[in-house]
Amino acid sequence: MSDTSAPRIATNLDGKVAIVTGAGRGIGRCIARTLANCGAAIACVDVNVAAAEETASLIKADGGQAAAFACDVTDSEQVNSVVDAVIGQYKKLDILVNNAGITRDGLLLRMKDEQWDLVLNVNLRGTFLFTRAAARYLIKAGGARIINIASISGLMGNPGQANYSASKAGVIGFTRTVARELASRQVTVNAVAPGFIATEMAHALGEDTLKQIRERTPLGRLGEPQDVADAVLFLAGPAAGFITGTVLRVDGGLAE
C-alpha cells in the first residue's frame, strides 16, 4: 500500500485552513498530508487523539502546519468545541473535509440495531454536525469548500453493507442539498465517492475477495489513498470554483 501524500496536481493552498475529520489514518491521513503539502494549515481531527497527533507530526516533519484535535463526530458539543478551537487557533476556516467513517458489515437479516445506528451516526450524523458547526465560518471565508467523502456503495449498493450504503447515500443527498443552500454564499459543496481503496479496511476483506474486486474493476487494481486525496485536492482548489453539488467517483470505473 502506497501513501506518499505527494500531490500529483499543482494547487496552491497557501494561507488556507482546513479541517480533516478521520485524519488519524488511511485516506484521512493522506488527505491531510496532501492538503498540507500544498500549503494549507491542517486541523487533524480524530476520535483517536494519538493517531491525530501522529498525522500532525508527519505534516510538521514535512515543513507544514498542523494541530491535532480529539473528537467524537457524533457528539454535537464536541464538534462545536473543536470547530471553535480551530477558529481560536487559526482565526479562520476555508476547507472542511468530512472523511470520518466506519463500517460494521453484516447481512440485513443478521444486522443488529447497534450496527445500523453506529454506522449512520458516524458517517451521516457526523457529516451533518461538522458541516453545521463549520458553515458559519466558511461563509465568512469567501470561496470556501466543503468536501464530503461518500462511497460508490452509496451509489450502487453493496451486499452486506445496508447500513454503510444507506449512510453514504445519505451523505450524497446531504451534499447536493447543502450545495444549493450555500451556493449564494460562494461555498461549494461536493462529494468524492471512492471505490475499493488499498487501506486496512480493504485488506481486511481477504485476498480472495480483493482478487474478485480487481477483476470487476475496469482499471484492474485497487485505488490508493493518494487517488482519493488528489480528488479532494482538486475540489479544494481554485480550479474547482464552478463545481458544486457533484459526486466525483474515484473507483477505477467500477460503478455503473
> Which DSSP string corresponds to 31-66?
HHHHHHHTT-EEEEEESSHHHHHHHHHHHHHTT--E
Catalytic residue among 69, 164, 174, 196: 164
Nearest to 132 by CA among 198, 77, 202: 77
Active site residue 137: no
Beta bridge partners of 247: 191
Q: Which three cell numbers stand for residue 118?
A: 453506529
User: What long-range pairs does 9-15 form, CB within 8 A, spacing at least 24?
Assistant: 9/230, 9/233, 9/234, 9/237, 11/38, 11/233, 11/234, 11/236, 11/237, 11/238, 11/239, 12/38, 12/39, 12/237, 12/238, 13/38, 13/39, 13/40, 13/95, 13/236, 13/237, 14/39, 14/40, 15/39
How many degrees, rounded to 5, is the angle at CA 225 between CA 164 and CA 149? Answer: 40
Tell me the catalytic residues. Answer: 164
